[in-house]
Amino acid sequence: MPRASTGVTKRTSSKSEVLIPLVRAKGRLRAQIEDGIRQAVRSGRLSPNTGLPSSRLLARDLGVSRGIVVGAYEQLTAEGFLVSRPGGSTAIASRLKRVGGHPEPFALPPPRYDFKPGVPDVREFPWREWNRATKSALHAGTNQDLGYGDMRGSLVLRIRLAEYLGRVRAVDTVPNQIMICGGVTQALGIAVKALIARGIDRMALEAPSHPDLRRLIAAAGASAVAVRVDESGVVVRDLANTGAKAVIVTPAHQFPTGAVLSGPRRHELVAWAAACDGFIIEDDYDSEYRYDGTSVGAIQGLAPDRVIYTSSTSKILAPGLRLGWMCLPAPLLHAAIDTKRLADLGSPILEQLIYAAFIESGGLARHLRRTRLLYRARRDVLVRTLTALTSWRIEGIAAGLHLVAHLPVGSDERRIVTAARRRDVGFHPLSDYRTTTSPSQNAALVFGYGHLTDQEIEDGVRQAFSR
């Protein structure tokens, strides 16, 4: 089958007539196959009960290994897009519903035990203290607070955050250089656009990292390049070869590996930014939850003029608050303010005033002391249960709401995930966060534990391995 000069391979199956474009330069061929089939289902090109070619036939047609197609079929089966038929054939699921005029697969009920990473326990939200903070904020609020205000957000909250971040995270900032955003995702998007306005349109990402980051950078109009992570965090010496002048990092607890950026690497990273006149975007997403050893301060404190610091309430309170912030170097401030103005004319004010009162009353400190003990206990249960039932090597446990379990050589992440899903347990493969795939990469699973009780953690792991 001839290939287009763009590097895109487009194949159709004679059985299903499904067009699956593969851009080989992008890698992640299995993910591209999955997306191709999903889009064919959603667009109606593949209707319910349509049979698909065998994994061997489709692999031959696409020019990929059979294991890639098998993995794609298994993942789509777990999601409810596909079903396995007697005799080993595969077909589009029969129970489809239409949402907004587009067909969607019949939604599988969520697994009873889902070890999804990065999810806090919203059942622990401090409603009483939040109610008191709400009354205090409403009592102190003024009519002026309700107008079109400063694009950076409430000055009261920015003052409280400057004090809090300086005391707890060693962040060196002032209220005028803090911006309140609709969560870290918006903060990152604004930061990327501010860097583009400065002429920086090539950004480096940790590999592995959250898959949405690459999409976020592309949506802003910049290009992304991956830089590998090892046990000491991002490998800074590789940055010089990327041509990037900005990098997004999670130094306190790398997502998803859990590595902590070492002291020497921190200074090396700051030196890299100064040498290339570049910037570091620091996502400090769950640093408040450190269980073992001394707390690690933010990189921002080492180089306030080179680091854009971001964080939010999503892990420490609840993601539904959509309340985040960033501390900006002065040269990027005006571009960020202009971007925020065009995005939404400023974040909702009442939640900002309430959060300021919540910090000032000591409610945040009390909540963190309590939940830190709670999450540490849950981590210990997960480590103990996994250790008792498997020979997996566990890492990234010193902080946060997730850990990584490295599987024995030759293990198949997808088969383990699929088998667990059949037992009503949600496991999540590390490959979901990788930008490229390689046979030499070790298989691993990422386990979130923050939102599960001790009993749910133990029952979930044991159920996944039940016979």
List average pLDDT for each run of 10 residues in the chain, which is 467 residues long.
Answer: 43 51 76 86 80 86 86 84 79 65 58 95 97 97 94 98 96 98 96 97 95 93 94 94 96 94 96 97 94 87 97 97 98 97 96 98 97 97 96 94 95 92 93 72 92 97 90
How much is the pLDDT for 78?
80
User: Do the two domains 113-121+366-464 and 126-362 of this chain adopt the same fold?
Assistant: no
Asked if residue 18 lies in contact with residue 24, where contact means CB atoms within 8 angstroms, the answer is no
Each residue of 157-199: pLDDT tens digit? 999 999 999 999 999 999 999 999 999 999 999 999 999 999 9
Q: Which CATH superfamily is domain 113-121+366-464 in?
A: Aspartate Aminotransferase, domain 1 (3.90.1150.10)
How much is the pLDDT for 140?
95
Per-domain residue ranges of the chain: 8-105, 113-121+366-464, 126-362
How much is the pLDDT for 97?
52
How much is the pLDDT for 398?
92
**For the domain bounded by 126-362, which CATH number is listed?**
3.40.640.10
Give burial (CB, 10 Å; 0-12/13-18/19+) of 417.
buried
- CATH domain 8-105 topology: Arc Repressor Mutant, subunit A (1.10.10)
Instruction: State the Cα–Cα distance between residues 182 and 313, nearest whole angstrom.
Output: 10
* pTM of the complete model: 0.79
How much is the pLDDT for 317?
97
How much is the pLDDT for 104?
53
